[in-house]
Amino acid sequence: MSQESETLTEARLQRYIRTTLPEYGKAEVVGLKEITSGWETDVYAFDLTAQDVTRPLPLVLRAYQGQDAREKSGLEFDALRRLHNVGYPVPKTLALALEDSPAGRPCIIMERIAGHGMWRKTFQGPEEQQRALFALFLRLFVQLHQLDWHDMVDDTNPLFLSNPYHFVDAALARYRGLSAQPGVTTYVPIVDWLDARRDLVPCRRPAPIHWDFHPENILLCDDGSAVVIDWSQYQISDPRFDLAWTMTLVGGQEGGNVRERILSGYEALTGEVVEQIEVFEVFACAKRLASVTISLSLGAEAVGMRAGSEEMMLKMLPAMARVYARLQEISGLRIPDVERLLNAV
């Protein structure tokens, strides 16, 4: 693919929309600009306008990076459609573009939400605001996990119905393969620790999970409503994987008692104690740490992130240190690869 074909332009995007979406056959693309460049995607904003409409239609194009860009874009498109159909607050999608992508790589075109990520406001500013946004964050999280998974799949008899260990077995298999890669072989004792506790964690209630649920992936709108974005890792799985990842990610970044606040707030809303959450925290800690060590040793693209993400990861090492401390607190195990990384910076 040539460099020219990889360049997203208004003309190329307009041709694609007019060809693929007949209802917009006379629309013009205006104001195309890149608005974010993240670990896995680039996001462009633009408007569709036409002579017979009074208000332009604000849209975004989300273009995917990495070796599994096609898989992730298809997964996110399907997740957004299903979640929108059951009333969960997500952007409405217009198109999934693969080989015919106007960006030269897999992309999704969807509505543009007039809102901003709410991480900063959730942990900074007036206390009343922080409490309200933290409560909103938890309500959306619990609402996701309480959706009926039957509405989210086509298969009426999936494998996990007959095997309550289906999800944890799949995770253990992935982690076994991960720990065999150069740069992360010292994770093997962690995988052994998890394997020894496999029988403690059958899945009693599958649910849709996000796999990266944090306040910056929630867009807060001016009217107080909120929309959840970034669904490229969506799955039906054990919701404890999702909860543990959020506790690890947000707790590691913010420190203090944030991990405990997420868990206690989640349990209060569900009315249930989350069993064996520490086992899932070790899964999450290992995943978080391995993504950094693999990226810094083999390159970010090895874990499906955009090239150049290594520099961003280096800035997150203080948070990684907190994640590593939590992993050690639970398991008592050490990861020499992580210790070398933390000690070298």
Distance (Å, whole) CA 258 – CA 214: 12
Residue 80 contacts residue 113 (beta carbons within 8 Å): no
- Claim to verify: residue 95 and residue 70 sit in the same structural domain: yes
Whole-angstrom Cα distance, residue 56 to residue 162? Answer: 50
- From 112, 145, 170, the end of a domain falls on 112
What pLDDT is stored for residue 87 in this prediction? 97
In this structure, the answer to whether residues 28 and 58 fall within a common structural domain is yes
Burial class (CB in 10 A: 0-12, 13-18, 19+), 187: buried
Instruction: Using the structure block, give the residue that is written with the tokens 């119905």.
Output: 161
The CB-side HSE value for 49 (13 A sphere, CA atoms) comes to: 11
* Cα 277 from Cα 91, distance rounded (Å): 31
Number of folded domains in the chain?
2
Window from 147-151, 152-156, 269-273 with minimum mean pLDDT: 152-156
- 3-state secondary structure at position 138: helix
Q: How far is CA 146 from CA 75, 156, 162, 255, in A?
A: 20, 19, 21, 28
According to the model, what pLDDT value does residue 65 have?
Answer: 85
Contacts of 328 (CB under 8 A, 6+ apart): 334
Better pLDDT: 156 or 332: 332
Residue at which a domain ends, from 97, 112, 127: 112
On whether both 134 and 84 belong to a single domain, the answer is no
pLDDT confidence tier of residue 318, bands split at 50, 70 and 90: confident
Higher pLDDT, 57 or 303: 57
Q: For 71-121, how does the pLDDT look when each residue is reduced to its tens digit (9 = 90+)?
A: 999 999 999 999 999 999 999 999 999 989 999 999 999 999 999 999 999
How far from 285 is each of 52, 280, 290, 292, 339, CA to CA, in Å? 53, 9, 8, 11, 14
CATH number for the domain spanning 247: value is 3.90.1200.10
Whether the pLDDT of residue 297 is over 70: the answer is no
Is 191 in the same domain as 305? Answer: yes
Claim to verify: residue 141 and residue 277 sit in the same structural domain: yes
Same domain? 77 vs 144 = no
- Sort 123 into a burial class: Cβ within 10 Å, 0-12 / 13-18 / 19+: middle
What is the DSSP annotation of 80-128?
HHHHHHTT-S-PPEEEEESTT-TTSS-EEEEEPPSEEE-HHHHHSS-HH
* Of residues 118, 84, 59, the one with CA closest to residue 234: 84
Q: What DSSP assignment string belongs to 227-295? A: EE---TT-EEE-HHHHHHHHHHHHHHHH-TTHHHHHHHHHHHHHTS--TTHHHHHHHHHHHHHHHHHHH
**Which domain CATH number covers 37?**
3.30.200.20
Which has more pLDDT, 290 or 235? 235
The answer on 242 and 162 residing in a single domain is yes
Kindly state whether residues 318 and 256 are assigned to the same domain. yes
SS3 78: helix
Same domain, 188 and 87: no
| Segments forming the whole domain that contains residue 57 | 4-112
- What SS3 class is residue 340? helix
For the ranges 38-47, 134-143, 175-184, the one whose mean pLDDT is highest: 134-143
**Residues 75 and 174 both lie in one domain:** no
At 312 the pLDDT is 60
Same domain, 85 and 151: no
Mean residue pLDDT of the chain comes to: 89
pLDDT, tens digit, 9 for 90 and up, residues 46-72: 999 987 667 899 999 999 988 889 999
Query: Higher-confidence residue: 238 or 298?
Result: 238
Of 92, 112, 132, the domain-final residue: 112
311 shares a domain with 242: yes
pLDDT digits (tens, 9 = 90+) for 166-185: 999 999 999 998 888 766 78
Task: Say if residues 111 and 84 touch (Cβ distance below 8 Å).
Answer: no
Q: What number is the average pLDDT over the span 154-170?
A: 91
**Stretch 185-214: mean pLDDT:** 95
